[in-house]
A = this chain, B = another copy of it.
Amino acid sequence: MKRRAAIVGGGVIGAGWAARFLLNGWDVAVFDPDPETGRKVGEVLANARLALPGLSDVALPPEGEIAFPASVDEAVAGATWIQESVPERLDAKRDALARISRCADATAVIASSTSGFRPSEVAADACNAGQVMVCHPFNPVYLLPLVEVVSHDRTDPDLVRKAVGMLDSLGMKALIVRTEIDAHLADRFLEAVWREALWLIRDGVATTAEIDDAIRLGFGLRWAQMGLFETYRIAGGEAGMEHFIAQFGPCLDLPWSRLTDVPEMTPALARRIADQSDSQSVGLGVRELERIRDRNLVAILRALKGQDWGAGAVLNAHDASRMPPVPAVDAAQPIETVERSVPLDWTDYNGHMNEARYLQVFSDATDRFMEVIGCDQAYVASTGSYFTVETHIRHLDEVHAGSRIRVRTTCLLGESRKMHLFHEMQDTGGRLLATGEHLLLHVDMKSRRAGPAAAEVEAELRRIARGHARRGWPEGAGRRVGQGR
């Protein structure tokens, strides 16, 4: 039998919860008095359907069904999980949970999305407070894994364990907060940063855009993969966490934050931090943590390059400033189309560059060749592009992260509607690593059907093809898989 979740409050957070449950196969009932709820939840769902299923490398189960009943009671009846996501006002939260608790199943998880209030505060008027806990998610709820789970002194511990298991099955990660505290853990940090930022804006020190860059081009990248303490553990270098604290502990007396009510850095506190940090990173030396951090950062930065956003846009601009201009082509020689190093995140479990990355490099080589014949970004935007219809790769030798590789490209055939390319990938020592042979068709970008290239593009393509034809076909071209030499 399918499980059912009830979402009370259909704003950004409620809609995110609805999407998370629905796409993991639960039926979902959303109640919100706003008559626009159906449309608003629908827009979040549309985003989630694009984003969440492809995040996973295993297909999600078939979607559940979504309903918008007319009352809290209807939404809640028979639900295994009830999520309160009404606006962040204590009276609104209390009332919603009181209402929910009157019609909830006796075995249901009743969870509040509150980011600031303690579970005992929001559960104060609930008739079955033992079922109530805080499960605080992070926007977008359908993508970010973290959920802070906070009990109060009457919450049933067995129900908390059950909730953790269900969050797990939704692809989320429950962080059990040990003690009720205002704003739990994460939002205390967010609130501290928000307050610090308000001072900077009020005093004219920085704008919102400058503050955002100060975050997303620096420590924000670090915090996507390691948090505050593991990052500082590495910063301490070989001397370790105690050294780091000894060095930066005295800074607590300096006016480096508006947060001036600081704890005293006693030897006992320093020891506690160092001990916790040691057990957090057990088995990983600082040098190993550095390598892990670098792989993570390269992977994240390259992901952002692919989106041309934030730090990725900075890197792309730097690449563009150093990209050699398209050369005047000597058609008597293969064309140098790629020269690059193998990124740290391109190796796989076999310890060498993953096979799909060979095609990525050859795809870049094809893009460069297209630029050479005048099929550049402007041409693609206005006229047409070449789509690959067939590919043949020979993987001849291994290559590892950090190695410099280059590709030279021969045009085997160039006509009005098609081109046939042959790429040779070498390392700097001239060792042949792989060849890529590709047939591409010219496509009209409006009809997305094959059609002739613009005359000047075709002319340059034919000129290069004629020149390269005089060299004869390179060794390895024109083969089928498994063909002998």
Contact = CB atoms under 8 A, between A and B. Distances in A.
A171 B222 CA distance: 18
A314 B173 contact: yes
A145 to B, nearest CB: 5
Nearest to A193: B189
B143 A301 contact: yes
A323 B57 CA distance: 9
Q: DSSP majority for the A interface?
A: helix
Contacts of A290: 47, 140
The quantity of this chain's copies bound in the complex is 2
A106 interface: no
Contacts of A269: 198, 201-202
A53 B390 contact: no
A154 interface: no
A322 B475 CA distance: 46
Interface in A266-288: 269, 272-273, 276-277, 279-280, 287
Contacts of A56: 315, 318-319, 322, 340-341
A391 B393 contact: yes
A238 B205 CA distance: 29
Interface range for A: 35 or more
Interface stretch (A71-79, A380-388, A453-461, A462-470): A380-388
A187 to B, nearest CB: 6
Contacts of A310: 224-226, 296
Contacts of A437: 481
Nearest to A200: B185
Most chain B CB inside 10 Å of its own CB: which residue of A43, A293, A437: A293
A68 interface: no
A350 interface: yes
Contacts of A201: 269, 272-273, 276
Interface stretch (A125-133, A155-163, A208-216, A326-334): A208-216
A204 to B, nearest CB: 7
A310 B144 CA distance: 12
Interface string A154-182: 00000000000000110111010111011
Pairs A-B, 4 closest by C-beta atoms: A212-B227, A220-B223, A54-B343, A53-B341
